[in-house]
A = this chain, B = another copy of it.
Amino acid sequence: MITILAGGTGAAKFVRGLSEIVPPEEITIISNTGDDCVVWSLHVSPDLDTIMYLLAGLLDEERGWGVKGDTFTCLQAMKRYDEPTWFQLGDRDLATHIQRTKWLHEGLMLSEVTACLCRSLGVRARILPMSNDRVETRIYTPHGALSFQEFFVRERWSSEVTGVEFHGGQRALASPGVIEAIRESDGVVIAPSNPITSVGPILSVKGIRPALVDTPARVIAISPIVGGQAVSGPAGKLMEALGYKVSALGVTQIYRDFLDVLIIDEHDAALSPEIERLGVRVTVANTIMHDLAAKVDLAKTAMECLRTDWGRK
């Protein structure tokens, strides 16, 4: 059993490769919900959906979000009602948000809703929201706080960042199965996701970080920073704002207390000694997942890292 801590795009690419070499029944994905937002009164869980659509074979892998071949007819019509339309909800995608909102209103927990949606879509891997409680990633800027989606989508991460908060994280309980998955799996992989706003919210949930520290399973991560910048998205900008080096070394600092192995890109091989001085083993690989073969290769590398006998923790 393999447990993945996952954000959106980068995690989807990694899970795509992993699903080629590990049976879905042996994969548990703990998904960030700090980006969840309410759009037109509908509950949207962008990271949960990206992974769910990926595993259902529905993801628009080109864009990295939403349903492939989707249309935006309802969104166009919402413009007539002066509703914000910067958050792009496709017509097929909308069915998921309508159904999720309906089930949440009926009293189901987000983890239950996610399980039902996954069952309907034929997803056999287990996808767990990090928490059933609301944890809201807030990006502080000189002009006030933004939700992650406001910062990322609406402002295209152009705002100056002065701080990041995972509001509610301290009080949030991990959703059922999360702590067990970390403690009892054969390996934990932190996907190549933004360490601040994709993995950070997961780590902010009560009990998750201690479980990562304590688990007998090996914990590995794939650096989402290559050659001094993020492979995609605002990870670099956010790390810098919070005082981390924008490098695999900065990633190591963030995960240092629980990380056993960091997979870094070939371009960053020179950083290995510095990372290992922090007590984290390094594996060098091609981490840029341009095609399916590269995704599978990286997944294989990760599986090897979990298996290699480096001695016990």
Contact = CB atoms under 8 A, between A and B. Distances in A.
A73 B98 CA distance: 13
Interface string A84-115: 00000001111110110110010000000000
Contacts of A41: 98, 101-102, 105
Contact of A40 (B40, B77, B98): B98
A40 B73 CA distance: 18
B40 A82 contact: no
A269 interface: no
Contact of A77 (B73, B76, B77, B95): B95
A74 B99 contact: no
Residue of A40, A77, A93, A105 most packed against chain B (CB within 10 A): A77
Contacts of A80: 95, 120-121
B74 A117 contact: no
Contact of A91 (B71, B83, B117): B71
Interface size class of A (residues with CB under 8 A): 20 to 34
B78 A95 contact: yes
Contacts of A105: 41
Contact of A74 (B76, B83, B98): B98
A78 B102 CA distance: 12
* Number of chain copies forming the complex: 2
Nearest to A71: B73
Nearest to A93: B77
A66 to B, nearest CB: 12
Given A40-B99, A102-B41, A105-B41, A94 B74 contact: yes
A123 B83 CA distance: 18
A73 to B, nearest CB: 4
A254 interface: no
B99 A78 contact: yes
A211 interface: no
Nearest to A38: B102
A37 interface: no
A81 interface: yes
A146 interface: no
A289 interface: no
A73 B91 contact: yes
Contacts of A96: 77, 81
20 contacts: A40-B99, A41-B98, A41-B101, A41-B102, A41-B105, A70-B73, A71-B71, A71-B73, A74-B74, A74-B91, A74-B92, A77-B92, A77-B94, A77-B95, A78-B98, A78-B99, A80-B95, A80-B121, A81-B96, A94-B94
